[in-house]
């Protein structure tokens, strides 16, 4: 099964789209299918077919790891003979079986995230939504989380629907959709997206970026993007072009760099903005809705 990345800047429509996919919002137009089901016709079926791992911790810290899984099993009406062997297998995969009877409040952030992943897969969803699954974790822990996720995907066949602001995580996706202003502006593999950026990427900072941009347009017929006090442009042969660029500008250059295109470059080109944390997480609203539903 695939890892599908869903990227977009603030206000692009990410949260609304995910809300529709998870049955919290009704679509105003068009058709939606999640695991082959229509959320507007069979919302309960869709909820049984999906799992969610929230950006913020959502475990009960006063319960043990196994008790948290037992509560999740009860929500999904899983009998003991079904969920208990699943729980053992999942906890062993994420290296928490020996801590199954320990209270969650004694766990590290890494351990809590691993437990949330195991919990999200307990009812064997066909699609698992992950909202910033490694945010706030150190690089080594992030790598460990991803090794567990990829192992679990291989063993369970679950499709992972990922939102992230880490471009190295987006690189792990089989396909990526970028949404902006309510429209999908790109849908491709990571390599396919990067091929949209022409050649090399040059980033420079000058004493007068506005004048430098005008000179680059006038003398080289190239457009520049302004980002965080720098100018960014794309050329086919960066090493050969930089000496010409330096000679052609009468504005002092403070810094200049050359690199191959990345997913971040694709994102900037398509949206005009760099990736940054959203002000409000749509999944947080989703959690509130689901908790309210479970209490009924």
- pLDDT digit string (tens) for 49-86? 999 887 777 899 999 999 999 999 999 999 999 999 99
**C-beta neighbour count of 194 within 10 angstroms:** 17
Report the run of H or E that residue 6 belongs to, with start and end: strand 3-7
What's the average model confidence in pLDDT over 168-175?
Answer: 92
Spell out the long-range contacts of 115-118 with Cβ–Cβ below 8 A and sequence spacing 24 or more.
115/59, 115/65, 115/68, 115/91, 116/53, 116/54, 116/57, 116/58, 116/59, 117/53, 117/145, 117/148, 117/149, 117/152, 118/69, 118/87, 118/90, 118/91, 118/93, 118/94
Listed in sequence order, the residues at least 6 apart from 26 whose beta carbon sits closer than 8 Å to its beta carbon are 20, 40
What's the average model confidence in pLDDT over 223-238?
Answer: 90
State how far the Cα of 293 lies from the Cα of 274, in Å rounded to an integer: 36
State how far the Cα of 89 lies from the Cα of 2, in Å rounded to an integer: 22
What does the DSSP 8-state code read for residue 173? Answer: -
The answer to whether the CB of 266 falls within 8 A of the CB of 186 is: yes
DSSP string of 188-237? E-HHHHHTTS-SEEEEEEES-HHHHHHHHHHHH----EEETTEEEEEES-
State how far the Cα of 222 lies from the Cα of 66, in Å rounded to an integer: 60
Look at residue 269 and give its three-state secondary structure.
helix
The answer to whether the CB of 210 falls within 8 A of the CB of 218 is: no
State how far the Cα of 115 lies from the Cα of 289, in Å rounded to an integer: 22
Q: What is the mean pLDDT of the chain?
A: 87
Checking if the pLDDT of 192 tops 60, the result is: yes
- What pLDDT was estimated at residue 271? 83
Domains and CATH numbers, the chain: 3-189+276-295 (3.40.50.300), 198-260 (3.30.70.260)
HSE-up of 109 (CA within 13 Å, CB side)? Answer: 11
Pairing of strands 175-180, 3-7: parallel
The answer to whether the CB of 261 falls within 8 A of the CB of 269 is: no
What's the average model confidence in pLDDT over 245-264?
Answer: 92
**C-beta neighbour count of 12 within 10 angstroms:** 22
What's the average model confidence in pLDDT over 32-44?
Answer: 93
**C-beta neighbour count of 176 within 10 angstroms:** 23
DSSP string of 79-139? -HHHHHHHHHHHHHHTT-GGGTTSBGGGS-HHHHHHHHHHHHHTT--SEEEEESTTTT--H
> Computed from CA positions of residues 111, 112, 115, 116, in that sequence, does the dihedral angle turn out positive or negative?
negative
State how far the Cα of 150 lies from the Cα of 152, in Å rounded to an integer: 5
Q: What is the pTM of this model?
A: 0.74
- pLDDT digit string (tens) for 106-158? 999 889 999 999 999 999 999 999 988 888 788 888 888 898 888 888 888 89
Look at residue 48 and give its three-state secondary structure.
helix
């Amino acid at each position: 099964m695939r890892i599908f990345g869903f990227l977009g800047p603030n206000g692009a429509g990410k949260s609304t789209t995910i809300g529709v996919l998870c049955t919290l919002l009704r679509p105003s137009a068009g058709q939606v299918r999640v695991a082959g089901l229509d959320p507007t016709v069979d919302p309960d079926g869709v909820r049984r077919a999906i799992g969610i791992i929230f950006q913020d911790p959502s475990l009960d810290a006063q319960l043990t790891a196994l008790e948290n899984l037992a509560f999740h099993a009860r929500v999904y009406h899983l009998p003991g003979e079904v969920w208990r062997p699943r729980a053992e297998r999942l906890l062993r995969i994420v290296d928490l079986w020996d801590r199954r009877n320990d209270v969650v409040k004694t766990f590290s952030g890494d351990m809590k995230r691993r437990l949330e992943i195991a919990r999200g897969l307990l009812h064997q969803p066909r699609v698992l939504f992950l909202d910033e699954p490694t945010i706030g974790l150190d690089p080594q822990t992030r790598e460990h989380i991803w090794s567990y996720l990829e192992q679990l995907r291989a063993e369970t066949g679950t499709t992972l629907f990922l939102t992230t602001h880490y471009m190295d995580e987006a690189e792990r996706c089989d396909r990526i959709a970028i949404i902006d202003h309510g429209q999908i502006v790109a849908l491709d593999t990571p390599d396919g997206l990067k091929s949209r950026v022409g050649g090399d990427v040059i980033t420079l900072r000058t004493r007068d970026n506005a004048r430098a941009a005008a000179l680059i347009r006038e003398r080289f017929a190239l457009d520049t993007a302004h980002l965080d006090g720098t100018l960014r442009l794309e050329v086919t042969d960066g090493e050969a072009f930089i000496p010409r660029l330096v000679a052609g500008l009468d504005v002092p250059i403070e810094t200049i760099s050359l690199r191959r295109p990345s997913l971040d470059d694709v994102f900037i080109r398509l949206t005009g903005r760099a990736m940054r944390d959203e002000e409000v997480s749509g999944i947080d609203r989703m959690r509130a809705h689901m908790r309210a539903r479970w209490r009924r």
